[in-house]
Amino acid sequence: MNVIFPLWLIPLLPFAGFLINGLLGKRLPKALVTTVALLAPLAAFAAVLNAGLPIVFPFSSAYLGHAAPTSYIETFGTWLNIGTLHVDFSFVLDQLSLVMLLVITGVGFLIHIYSVGYMARDEGYARFFSYLNLFLFFMTILVLAGNALLMFVGWEGVGLASYLLIGFWFQKTTAAEAGKKAFIVNRIGDVGFLIGMFLLLANFGTLTFSEIATKLGQDPGWTGGVVTVAALCLLLGATGKSAQLPLYIWLPDAMEGPTPVSALIHAATMVTAGVYMIARNHVLFDHSPFALGTVAVIGAATALFAATIGLVQNDIKRVLAYSTISQLGYMFLGCGVAAYSAAIFHLMTHAFFKALLFLAAGSVIHAIGDEQDLRKMGGLRKKIPVTFWTMTIGVFAIAGFPPLAAFFSKDAILYAAFQQGSLGKALWFVGLLTALLTAFYMFRLWYLTFFGESRSPEIHPHESPWSMLGPLVILALLSVAGGWIGIERFAAFLAPATGPRAIDAGSGNLELILSIAAVAVALLGWYIAHAFYSQKPERPAELAVALPSGYKLLSNKYYVDEFYGATVVKPLLAFSTYFLGWVVDKAIIGGLAWLLGGISLFCGALLQRWQSGNIRSYAAWLAAGAAAVLLFVAVPWSSVLASIGIHLNWAGH
């Protein structure tokens, strides 16, 4: 493989940024901190472009005389070489990781620029950027990893960065608790990842993705059984990281972190790691229809579930959080129907419009003085125009209106779902319903925020600085144009990495009909939102009164957190306090320590009595010692013991 640009620069540059800002940030002038922080993702983006260009445009390589590479593999040396386990530090840059890297570094760079303005007056300015760069470091490792163990390093690392960033304002108890919750729930999912890795290792003897794919391809007997179990375990890990049922509970709480964090980590990049991991292991999942079905069902169920909760949330960021969970459900659905390229396509477009929505929401919050409650907003359309227009583009994009980005990607997923037999049609219907709900609550948010009379007349909103608005504009453009590449070309591009797109040719009409259905549903959602929040603003209150139990159920998030608290958290806490705390810690370990101390004291007391100061007793012990030495020297012990029957092997005695 002809390596034009070293791949290890891509993670290294953000890591350098992390070190500089983390160790020296407090002492450097703010301008320098900003420069370092922005340079890191920009340089990484440049490195990705440089390395990835030959993959995207094969003609240029041919022009240069090299054969067009489909993937770069760089190995830096052996990591583990124990018995039959052999793991290298190897980075793989193929089409799939290239797409992910472009999104991560590109959108990441834009969010870094936004953070310069958003966090300008925060005390922990340098710390924030060092954590962001740390996150980039780990995320790029995750994406570039050529084997599951290295990917796990990145997996855990982004969890750590997420914890640090969610709890960034750690003096706030809720933020610290949210960080803890995110990390712990992630770890529960990681158990699945680990067990999946163990199973892969046990059955294939290797953790390298390409080798596993080759082995699976060679032997057609690999279906069901252990492949299913391994795939399901990996799926558990993915649900933890990507906030699907049943491990989604951390993502809404993660909104305690600063808005750029929500945009970068909990919308565009980290939460997509689960989708990426499934796409990376797609050969494994392809061999297990049961696992694929489970992925699809979980994805669709989560999409619907989260959308219903999002209907009644009052915090602007919570609405977006549940929307993220819902859209991730779409991506899982795409993976579950083996349309991996469609899922990655939606991942890319989602990164654009979700980051845009979050950043615009941050701009709104910044404009009205850190207020996040929708019920206190209103009438901001004329006051903050740039934010308004960019957010509008985002809302229309997520609702799925053509020719904006999400229309193409969502459609690709729904179309692929429809084609997978009767289960597929049911999933398609669920996806369609979710699209309706998505349109409804996004337009609800739109109306409540920007239209009508201001419900907090004492606030004077001001537009955000251009450091914040610039990225908004760029992301808005990407949300508009991001889908124009079209699913066919995108799938063809990704085919070497994710397998060919399994679509029946000649069903163009069906595709058209389904697209029209999706757009119709989006329009219906807009209309309902308009009816409820624009024409007659008192209607939602009336509906809430009419269906009190339903409203309570939704606004309390189906009591899932309470359920987990009662079934998992409380027993663990009781176990820790009573058994581990009292029995193990106090009684056993404390008792052991007390015992050791007691032994020392006892021996000391004995010795104290021995050293009495009495000369005669000392003399007696002297004589005893002399007698012992004499005995040892003068008596032929080997023969004495041999006569008893004990034979020793002493030299020379």
95 touches 494 (CB < 8 A): yes
How many angstroms separate the CA atoms of 558 and 551, rounded? 10
Residue 626 binds other proteins, judged by CB under 8 A: yes
Q: Which two tokens stand for residue 120?
A: 């300008």
Q: State in angstroms the smallest separation of the CB of 640 from other proteins.
A: 12
Q: State in angstroms the smallest separation of the CB of 643 from other proteins.
A: 16
Q: State in angstroms the smallest separation of the CB of 617 from other proteins.
A: 4
Binding range to other proteins, per CB under 8 A, among 43-51, 220-228, 463-471, 629-637 = 629-637
Instruction: Output 191 or 627, the one with its CB closest to other proteins.
Output: 627
Rounded to 5°, angle at Cα 115 from 109 and 120: 145
Residue 621 binds other proteins, judged by CB under 8 A: yes
Q: Which residues 6+ apart lie within 8 Å of 604 measured at CB?
A: none
309 to 314, 363, 441, 644, 645: CA distances (angstroms): 11, 24, 10, 86, 85
User: Judged by CB under 8 A, which of 120, 191, 596, 630 binds other proteins?
Assistant: 630
User: Judged by CB under 8 A, which of 513, 601, 631, 640 binds other proteins?
Assistant: 631
Binding range to other proteins, per CB under 8 A, among 250-258, 296-304, 495-503, 621-629 = 621-629
By CB under 8 A, the residues from 109 to 168 that bind other proteins are none
Asked if the peptide bond before residue 403 counts as cis, ω within 30 degrees of 0, the response is yes
Binding range to other proteins, per CB under 8 A, among 175-183, 505-513, 559-567, 606-614 = 606-614
* Alpha-carbon dihedral angle through residues 148, 149, 150, 151, given to the nearest 10 degrees: 40
Binding range to other proteins, per CB under 8 A, among 40-48, 188-196, 592-600, 625-633 = 625-633
Residue 605 binds other proteins, judged by CB under 8 A: no
Instruction: Output 614 or 643, the one with its CB closest to other proteins.
Output: 614
Q: State in angstroms the smallest separation of the CB of 612 from other proteins.
A: 6
Residue 634 binds other proteins, judged by CB under 8 A: yes
Residue 607 binds other proteins, judged by CB under 8 A: no
Instruction: Output 584 or 626, the one with its CB closest to other proteins.
Output: 626
User: Judged by CB under 8 A, which of 583, 624, 640, 641 binds other proteins?
Assistant: 624
Q: State in angstroms the smallest separation of the CB of 579 from other proteins.
A: 50
Binding range to other proteins, per CB under 8 A, among 130-138, 381-389, 487-495, 622-630 = 622-630
| SS3 category, 306 | helix
Q: State in angstroms the smallest separation of the CB of 616 from other proteins.
A: 4
How many angstroms separate the CA atoms of 339 and 333, rounded? 9
Residue 614 binds other proteins, judged by CB under 8 A: yes
Q: State in angstroms the smallest separation of the CB of 587 from other proteins.
A: 40
Instruction: Output 531 or 622, the one with its CB closest to other proteins.
Output: 622
How many angstroms separate the CA atoms of 243 and 331, rounded? 12
Taking alpha carbons only, the member of 522, 500, 467 closest to residue 109 is 467
Q: State in Å, rounded, how far the first CA of the chain is from the last one.
A: 72
User: Judged by CB under 8 A, which of 214, 597, 617, 641 binds other proteins?
Assistant: 617
- Helix 340-367 to helix 316-336 angle (10° resolution) is 180
* Alpha-carbon dihedral angle through residues 168, 171, 175, 181, given to the nearest 10 degrees: 90
Q: How many residues bind other proteins (CB under 8 A)?
A: 17
Instruction: Output 31 or 615, the one with its CB closest to other proteins.
Output: 615
Q: Which residues 6+ apart lie within 8 Å of 177 measured at CB?
A: 253
451 touches 374 (CB < 8 A): no
Residue 616 binds other proteins, judged by CB under 8 A: yes
Q: State in angstroms the smallest separation of the CB of 624 from other proteins.
A: 4
Instruction: Output 170 or 618, the one with its CB closest to other proteins.
Output: 618
Residue 567 binds other proteins, judged by CB under 8 A: no
By CB under 8 A, the residues from 529 to 548 that bind other proteins are none
User: 87: which strand partners?
Assistant: 80
User: Judged by CB under 8 A, which of 541, 596, 623, 642 binds other proteins?
Assistant: 623
User: Judged by CB under 8 A, which of 64, 512, 620, 641 binds other proteins?
Assistant: 620
Instruction: Output 569 or 620, the one with its CB closest to other proteins.
Output: 620
Q: Which two tokens stand for residue 615?
A: 């000369």
Instruction: Output 120 or 622, the one with its CB closest to other proteins.
Output: 622
Binding range to other proteins, per CB under 8 A, among 259-267, 274-282, 466-474, 612-620 = 612-620
User: Judged by CB under 8 A, which of 67, 191, 568, 635 binds other proteins?
Assistant: 635
**Residue 356: CA count within 13 A, CB half-sphere:** 32
Q: State in angstroms the smallest separation of the CB of 592 from other proteins.
A: 34
User: Judged by CB under 8 A, which of 520, 612, 641, 642 binds other proteins?
Assistant: 612
Residue 613 binds other proteins, judged by CB under 8 A: yes
Q: How many CB atoms are closer than 10 A to CB 38?
A: 17
Q: Which two tokens stand for residue 175?
A: 């933020």
Residue 615 binds other proteins, judged by CB under 8 A: yes
Binding range to other proteins, per CB under 8 A, among 380-388, 464-472, 513-521, 624-632 = 624-632
Residues of 401-417 as b/e, b for ≥16 C-beta within 10 angstroms?
beebbbbbbbbbbbbbb
Residue 173 binds other proteins, judged by CB under 8 A: no
**Residue 167: CA count within 13 A, CB half-sphere:** 18
128 touches 168 (CB < 8 A): yes
Helical (H) or strand (E) element with 88: strand 85-93
445 to 199, 532, 533, 583: CA distances (angstroms): 45, 12, 9, 53
Asked if the peptide bond before residue 246 counts as cis, ω within 30 degrees of 0, the response is yes
Q: State in angstroms the smallest separation of the CB of 631 from other proteins.
A: 6
> Which one-letter amino acid corresponds to residue 498?
T
Instruction: Output 627 or 642, the one with its CB closest to other proteins.
Output: 627
Q: Which two tokens stand for residue 167?
A: 């709890």
How many angstroms separate the CA atoms of 336 and 417, rounded? 8
The residues binding other proteins (CB under 8 A) are: 612-617, 619-621, 623-624, 626-627, 630-631, 634-635
